[in-house]
Amino acid sequence: MSEHAPTPPGGTHTASHFLRQIIERDLLQGRLHGRRWAGTPGDGTHHARGNPDPAKVRLRFPPEPNGYLHVGHAKSIWINFGLARDYGGVCHMRFDDTNPEKEEQEYVDAILDAVRWLGWSWDAFGTQHLYYASHYFDFMYRAAEYLIETGHAYVDEQTPEQMRANRGTLTEPGVDSPFRHRPVEESLARFREMRAGRHPDGAMVLRAKIDMASPNINLRDPAIYRIKHATHHNTGDAWCIYPMYTYAHPIEDALENITHSICTLEFEDQRPFYDWLLERIVPILRAPQFERAKQLIDRIEQQGVEAGKEFALHCHNHAHKLGPNTEPERQMRALFQRWEHDRDTVLRDLPAFFALLKAHTHQFTPLLAASLDAYEAEIFQLPHQYEFARLNLTYVVTSKRKLKQLVDDGIVRGWDDPRMPTIVGLRRRGYTPGAIRLFCERTGVSKANGWIDYGVLEGALRDDLEGKAARAMAVLDPVKLKLTNWADVFGRADHREPCTAPVHPQRPELGQRQFSLGPELWIEREDFQEQPPKGYFRLFPGNKVRLKYGYVIECTGCEKDTDGRVTAVLATVVPDTKSGTPGADAVKVKGTITWVGAHEAVAAEIRLYDRLFADPHPDAGGKDFKAALNPDSLHTVTGYVEPSLAGAAADERFQFERHGYFVTDRLDHTAQRPVFNRIVGLKDRWVK
């Protein structure tokens, strides 16, 4: 993809959706104006030394390297990289590697390969934007100490069971930890002991101090650091404490100057914590912008009483941003409550309001992030989170835990098994990057959860392959066809009649493929019936059909073994009926069959893959997903293909002119013959 030639928003191939509307609004209103980029991630001081950001927007694709990417990730990749492309921005490739026990370099490499294969790049504006959360561990630790020092975090030594019991329910508030009010110095010392490795796993955690009575359970003092004596794939043994994902993710976004942090709907309830965290650490995260806010407050105060009152009322309207845990915020809330009953008291309280605000500005950054927006948009230049409905595809599970279980239990042959919904599995099955992107475009972006039928994915592939895939002939259930008058028609039994066919019927520039007829051919067993049903136009005694690209033949009977099974079909060639020659249409037939010459056919292993699950919702409602496995998801047969396919390169796709689309599989080096994976559901329409 071009990094500097964005597609104009609203173009014919870019359907509008609410995320586009958000970005267009922000660009139109200048909310992203004035940002700087130092060339690498860092805090506000670091970026202040850089140049104006050449990227109009910054997005990110942030997978955890604990498994292979699946089709749901492909949707997120398309959204983030596509929006960055279309709006003159950049999408960062970032690994959220904060859980060393489940992450491996194998997954890192596989994820990078999948994103590249899908057609996207993280290179833009002369920089490779490949980042790791683990590169930010130092700043995350510094931010955690800052939260402790300002009274917004504490070390909790309850057991996990006690914490769970005290968390409360959806209808009942939580209970304060007995360690919640321990002195700042004590929590800080304990946290440093955690960092030094002086305590075992699970002995204590660092928790944000927010509100144990919050109706949003995610704000009931969530854990932000835990002890894990584990080797990290990137940092080795440098750390024995690791940040929780919900703590690390917003900091990663902020250090990378992300403008729009796009995630799926299950993170919607986490958005308040995302905002709370970034707004609380503004003084160290965005030091230049924090100083700018203080100067703006001074200027407003100096503008006189009316300007001061207007600003004070702006702050009052965002009183919900005040926390319950610090004395300055409690004092500010008391001021605001007095104003509820008598707005004239605002004027009397202005000196006290500004004095409190300026003496403890670092405690009021959440309030200022909202109230100063009317004076200077996005003054702290913080990222914002937006959620879209994840991809729910029928007949598929996308839980990485469950996919890993399928691999570990040997139910599939690995993460790249063509039945898997992983990117590597879809690739081996025959899907193309273009088909997956087309599927994403057709399913769109929504705020409402819903199900997409698996057929939509198959339809996108058919439409993508139709103009690309080379044609070929193959026989999957072979039976011998003997042309009994061959020597009479051609003068000798060993004659080989050359035939040609287009590589692609609509693309003559791709040329012709060559093969030949002989006295014995392989045809599909179902193309012959001794006693055919009504409407059957293929081979039966006395009926004529055309061998595709070859001659008209007339069936004369068959040969059988002692069990009555047909071992060969017998027919005669009708002279002067070869396709493409004068008089070829003199004999009218209703049926055409595919074939491969027995003298040059290449034996091939054909793997016929169906959907892995028989239930359209295999893991919905707590069901055992393994109970929904399709016992017929894989059949392997030995068939015959055109000689031109003997050396087909890996990842090439063909439309076998009877059976639909297949892909060569050169990843299986154990096979003794060419292997073709069948894309079930995409049969060619011309066959009667």
- Type of residue at 146: Y
Residues in the chain: 688
List 663's β-bridge partners, or say none.
653, 677
668 vs 650: CA distance, rounded Å: 10
482 vs 594: CA distance, rounded Å: 15
Q: Tokens for 231?
A: 């080797």
Cβ atoms of residues 56 and 90 within 8 Å: no
Q: What share of the chain is helix, strand, coil (3-state, %, to 5)?
A: 35, 20, 45
613 vs 397: CA distance, rounded Å: 9
The terminus-to-terminus CA distance of the chain in angstroms comes to 42
What number of other Cβ atoms are within 10 A of residue 507's Cβ? 12
86 vs 10: CA distance, rounded Å: 9
655 vs 686: CA distance, rounded Å: 12
Q: Which residues contact 286 (CB under 8 A, 6 or more apart)?
A: 43, 44, 254, 380, 381, 382
Q: What is the dihedral of CA 502, 505, 508, 514, to 10 degrees?
A: 0
Q: Which element (helix H / strand E) includes 645?
A: none
292 vs 64: CA distance, rounded Å: 36
Cβ atoms of residues 241 and 38 within 8 Å: no
Which one of 24, 35, 36, 64 is the catalytic residue? 64
Which one of 292, 390, 496, 525 is the catalytic residue? 390
**Pairing between β-strand 520-524 and β-strand 478-483 as defined by DSSP bridges:** antiparallel
285 vs 578: CA distance, rounded Å: 78
Phi (first) and psi of residue 329, to 5 degrees:
-70, -35
Q: What is the DSSP string of 138-159?
A: HHHHHHHHHHHHTTSEEEE---
SS3 7: coil
Which one of 400, 437, 607, 611 is the catalytic residue? 400
Burial of 119 (0-12, 13-18, 19+ CB in 10 A): middle
Catalytic residue list contains 588: no
Report how far Cα 549 is from the mean position of its chain's Cα atoms.
Answer: 43
599 vs 619: CA distance, rounded Å: 50
Catalytic residue list contains 390: yes
Cβ atoms of residues 618 and 395 within 8 Å: yes
Catalytic residue list contains 678: no
Q: At what angle do helices 271-280 and 245-255 cross, to 10 degrees?
A: 60
Count CA within 13 A, CB hemisphere, residue 49: 8
Catalytic residue numbers? 64, 390, 400
